[in-house]
């Protein structure tokens, strides 16, 4: 590549990185700057009278620790369920052509095409009757319905990317289908499966509406912050927004290596 071409390429990359990072940096400045920073005009790009007050106020609120725990439980269960349900279905889509496969794909896609919040009322009634109401388990079931399409389609792509011949070779050596999957396919698919699980985790962590309708005391962190945030002064809102963003940065960092594998060769 020519020198000027290289320069152009890297300025493009740097500009796009700034496009992502600068807004996050600025809300960070707002989060640590307090009321003064929120109302300052004109605003500078450097932090002013930085303090941890807003953030600490949030963390000290009664129930935040419990809500964070609930979020972890709900997201963890979502991760588990979506993988346990999604991976076998993905494997079936990848390895077999069977009648109803397209109908199944469509049903999976449908779950993303419908505003979930509208389903809250019927779901809430069912949940109260079955005792799932106000439990992280109940929240995770709804979140699994959201994460399952991704888990299914993504794992289907993953399994498709692992040559069928590997499995067939294992059969030749006397493995049953399940042994072949366990010994040959799973080890190869593991990174992608892990990434897909973490993706389910992120979906659950960020979901607000179902979580806030289906719980009273056992709120998830996002749902808990939402009720608090929408009516707090703006600098608290910046702090809350910042708190919501930090975990996503960490999550994405944790799975960055597998992001390709996650989407792998999937194209549907």
Partner 1 sequence: MMKFDLIRGTALVAALVAGVATVRPAAAQELVFLSTQLRPVDEAQKVRDVLLKGAPKTVYVVDEPSPFTVRMKAETESGKRTISLVGALHGELQPLAPLGALDTIDDVAAKLGDRGIPASLMELGKLGTGKQVYIPWMQATYVMVVNKKALAHLPAGANVETLTYKQLADWGKALAEKTGSRRIGFPAGPKGLFPRFLQGNLYPSYTGSMVTEFRSAEAETMWNDFKALWTTVNPNASSYDFMQEPLMGGEVWVAWDHIARVKDALQAAPNDYIVVAPPAGPKGRSYMPVIAGLAITKGAPDRAGAAAVIEHLTKPGTQVLTAAEVGFFPVVNATLPADLSPGVKLLAEGIAKTQTAKDAVVALLPVGLGDKGGEFNKVYLDTFQRIVLRNEPVRATLDAQAEVMRGIINGVKAPCWAPDKASDGPCPVK
Partner 2 sequence: MNQRILPYLLVAPAVVFLGAFFIVPLVQTIVLSFDGGGTGNALGNYSRMVNDLNFGVSLRNTFMLVLVVVPLQLAMALAMGMMLQKIERGREMVLWIWTIPLGVSDLAAGLVWLALLQNTGYINSALFHLGLLDGPTPWLNSETPVTLFAAIVLAEVWRATAVVLIVIVAGLQTIPKEFGEAAEIFGAKPWRKFTRITLPLLKPSIQSALILRTVLAFEVFAAVYALGGRNFPVLVGEAYTWQNENQNYGVAAAYAVLIMVISLAATLVWLKALRTNPETQA
Among partner 2, partner 1, none, the one that 129 touches (CB under a kind-dependent 5 to 8 A) is partner 1
Smallest Cα–Cα separation from 206: which of 254, 264, 249, 163?
Answer: 249
165 near partner 1, rule: CB under 8 A: no
Alpha-carbon torsion, ordered 117, 201, 130, 211, to 10 deg:
-40
Binding to partner 2, residues 212-251 (CB under 8 A): 222, 226, 237-238, 240-241, 244-245, 247-249, 251
* Rounded distance between C-alpha atoms, residue 142 and residue 120, angstroms: 10
Q: Give one DSSP letter per residue of 97-125, joined into a string.
A: --TTHHHHHHHHHHGGGS-GGGGHHHHHH
Chosen residue from 31, 67, 79, 239 binding partner 1 by CB under 8 A: 79
168 to 227, contacts with partner 1 by CB under 8 A? 187, 190-191, 193-194, 197-198, 212-213, 216-217, 227
Question: Which range in 12-20, 25-33, 68-76, 93-101 contacts partner 1 by CB under 8 A?
Answer: 68-76
Q: Is 45 helix (H, G, I), strand (E, B) or coil?
A: coil
Q: Cα dist. 184→19, 163, 212, 240 in Å?
A: 42, 11, 42, 45
- What tokens does 240 get? 């809350």
Residue 117 binds partner 2 (CB under 8 A) = yes
Of residues 206 and 215, the one with the C-beta less far from partner 2: 206
Contacts for 56 with CB less than 8 Å, ≥ 6 apart: none
2 is a site residue for partner 2 (CB under 8 A) = no
Binding-site size, partner 1 (CB under 8 A): 43
Residues 150-209 close enough to bind partner 2 by CB under 8 A: 152, 157, 160-161, 177, 202, 205-208
| Binding of residue 142 to partner 1 (CB under 8 A) | no
């Amino acid at each position: 590549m020519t020198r000027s071409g290289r320069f152009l390429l890297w300025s493009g990359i740097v500009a796009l990185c700034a496009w992502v990072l600068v807004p996050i940096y600025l809300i960070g400045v707002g989060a640590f700057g307090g009321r003064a920073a929120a109302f300052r005009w004109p605003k500078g790009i450097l932090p002013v009278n930085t303090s941890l007050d807003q953030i600490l106020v949030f963390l000290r609120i009664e129930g935040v620790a419990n809500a964070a725990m609930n979020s972890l439980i709900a997201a963890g269960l979502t991760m588990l369920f979506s993988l346990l349900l999604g991976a076998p279905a993905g494997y079936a889509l990848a390895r077999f052509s069977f009648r109803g496969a397209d109908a199944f794909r469509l049903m999976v896609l449908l779950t993303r095409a419908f505003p979930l919040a509208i389903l809250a009322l019927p779901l809430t009634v069912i949940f109260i009757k079955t005792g799932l109401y106000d439990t992280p388990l109940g929240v995770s079931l709804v979140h699994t319905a959201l994460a399952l399409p991704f888990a299914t389609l993504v794992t289907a792509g993953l399994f498709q990317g692992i040559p069928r011949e590997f499995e067939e070779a294992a059969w030749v050596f006397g493995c049953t289908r399940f042994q072949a999957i366990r010994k040959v396919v799973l080890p190869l698919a593991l990174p992608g499966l892990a990434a897909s699980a973490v993706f389910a985790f992120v979906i659950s962590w960020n979901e607000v509406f179902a979580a806030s309708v289906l719980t009273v005391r056992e709120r998830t962190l996002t749902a808990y912050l939402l009720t608090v945030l929408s009516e707090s002064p703006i600098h608290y809102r910046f702090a809350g927004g910042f708190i919501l963003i930090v975990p996503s940065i960490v999550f994405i960092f944790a799975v960055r290596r597998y992001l390709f594998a996650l989407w792998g060769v999937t194209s549907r």
